[in-house]
Structure 1
Amino acid sequence: MSFFSQTPQNKAPVGVLDITGGSIGASLLVYSEGQGTLLPRHSVSVRYDFPLDMPQAEAPHIPREALTNALNKLKLGSPDLKHLRVFFAPPHGASHLYICERAFDKDTLIVKELIHELMDEAFASFKKDEPDSVSFPLLFTVEWVHVNGYSVDTPVGTQARSISLAMSVSAARGLAEALAPAVSKLFSSRTEFEYYASGAALSRGILHAYPAGPKNFLTVAIGDTNSTISTIWHGLLIAENTIALGKRSVMERIARALNVPPLPALLFLRDPSTAPPQLAAMLPAVTAPIVNEWSREFNAAAQAILKSRFVPETVYLVSDEPALLALGVDSLNDPTLMGFTFSDALRTITMQCPTRESVQTLREGGAYGDSRLMLFAHFCASIDEVRHGEPFLASNTHL
């Protein structure tokens, strides 16, 4: 296990919570002979359909009660469980990447204190760039550490002439800010409480679940209010682009076009056969502009990525709403907008929905077969295992 897993010194169990826009998952991380093993416990779906009818400003106040009830169902309340890690959805457009370095005249022993100094430099830079962030919990991810120019998982204890650390920092605004008090109150007796940004956690979870899979890929995560395109190069998160199209905005647009409330619009999108015939006939024309807009945004992001000579091998499309996955697939598969962008890397794209059996087969076989575009959905229990995979990220509490 990496140094950046923040292994408790007494090897006590660690509670792991993953909180995103539509589901909450809980796992228990236990240690044996210094190695961590993740034991999935529960996954509780918390549907946020009802806030779609409410103004955006009121929405963050609604999930708190639902969150608290869900956390109680997850049964992580053992008094012996003193260490808790919480993954939140990444804040919109707030992440900054900092690279902090040290050079030495001679071989120098790398100690934890030096790593913490570099991390503190990144925090200080973020607070300087975002002075209003001091009132929010800070989310951060150590992306990589290079010792003498080489990437290492466990820098502590090595001899080095140089060391550099890359860390992404953001402030927990929005939904994360609203949910944090509920989590803090429920787990107020915990001695260690950590916040993580979940954008990198998703890509690391994919790499952990598919060790034989591609190391250069894109993840397109459709969130509640925005979508995030993450670029993974050699297994590292090197860039993120956020576009202002998410579940809420899409459903509000569809609801306005159909002249119905957002919740019925979502139900119609999930199953057009439940809609009145006239509205069902309108759905393709209503969703087409959304698909085109997504395609343009994805294409622009991909073009920027390809300028850096990065060639993705696979695209992972992620959403907690199955109805949006179909729109996302259409936007990625539009030959007039996306085809030429990935023509070299993804000349033939086939789709495979992640049933528990198919995902388990892929995990056991360690191969992708002919599927170049995998669809991941948070509501699928097997994907919960991916998203709640062994944490590779460094974090602590900054409140």
Structure 2
Amino acid sequence: MTDPTATPHPVPVSSGDPGVDKGPFLAPVVPEYGGRSLADVLPSALAVLGVPGAVDLLGLADELAGVRRVAVLLVDGLGWHQVPIATPYAPTLAGLTATTGRPLTCGFPSTTPTSLVTLGTGTASGAHGVLGFSLRIPGTDRVLNHLEWVDEPSPLRWQPVTTALQRARAAGVAVTVVSRPEFGGTGLTVAANRGGDYRGATGVEALAATMLAALGAGTGPTLVSGYHPDLDRHGHLSGVDSVPWRTAATEVDGLLARLVDGLPPDAALLVTADHGQLNVPAGHRFDLDTDPRLTAGVRVVAGEPRVRYLHVVPGATEDVRAAWSQVLGAAARVLTREEAVATGWFGPVPEEHLARVGDLVVVCNDTYAVLASRSESPMLSRLVGFHGADTAAEMTIPLLVVRG
């Protein structure tokens, strides 16, 4: 396992350049729940704000003594190892990383729905149950895409954990969530952020202005949670360190500068991410829909290209495992559900959430991916950047801490 405290590598992850040493990027990382993970950010912020029962697992209390307002900004796709790639176009980010930056791990899988709920609840993925980008609904052959989730299954049943925002509000903290207008009221937003007043904002200027307005309103303890998606989107569409990605990094820098400049004296800004990202070259892509060896015995495929959950027909587990292991070889690990849970990736998984994990879990190594060109959106096959697996490039994320 790589050391996530190591200095981030200044080269984007792509196997297209044989001269690049990709080792530090691609070594596996296990989530460090309970002291150095995304799940520990909001509990630590609540402890700073004096919420009873909240534990400062990140040790922020001394650094933020006297703070009564906390803003938490999640920049989608800004992994720890992507920060040095972005800093030539992001001087504010460079300065904050040099002076206040520290690495954390996200949860597993390293994907947006899982991480948003991990942040929002302050728990590992096994506890909250949003265990991947898409999951089979137990007892059915239906696959729930968490980004297209509206109200079925009920977010309150599918994700039963009380959120950090609910705990904060119950303790008298004013709580606001700022994100894109179209995300308001979705199943994922309710699962991750119930308990906060939702305010829609499109673009970095509106996001900064709305977050600062919420942060400055009132006189009591205040928590504001903000989300910015564009860096991840351009990484997916064009690749990490592409021209559009660099432009998005510059926009992130403007957002950070605006927030830092506008912080009230008794406020702090915490900046983190949901995952990192890496580029997957054309020669590292398998297509399960065009290879009958990968569909034999498989009833439902869920997850995403870097982590696949395979739900198999009764009695086919060993045959499916053998076939996928033979076809993918060193490109992936094929584990049973029990083996995957035993790694600690998900934290403890209660019985009611176990069936959401596949009978087999396929985790890609290096810069490989398993696509499904016919059964999933064709857009996925056209993406350049991916995430979801357990490499340092995907799992290690930054935490930047700024006082007003």
User: Which has the higher Rg, Structure 1 or Structure 2?
Assistant: 1
- The answer to whether the superposition gives a TM-score over 0.5 is no
Task: Name whichever structure is richer in strand by fraction.
Answer: 1
- TM-score calculated relative to the size of structure 2: 0.30
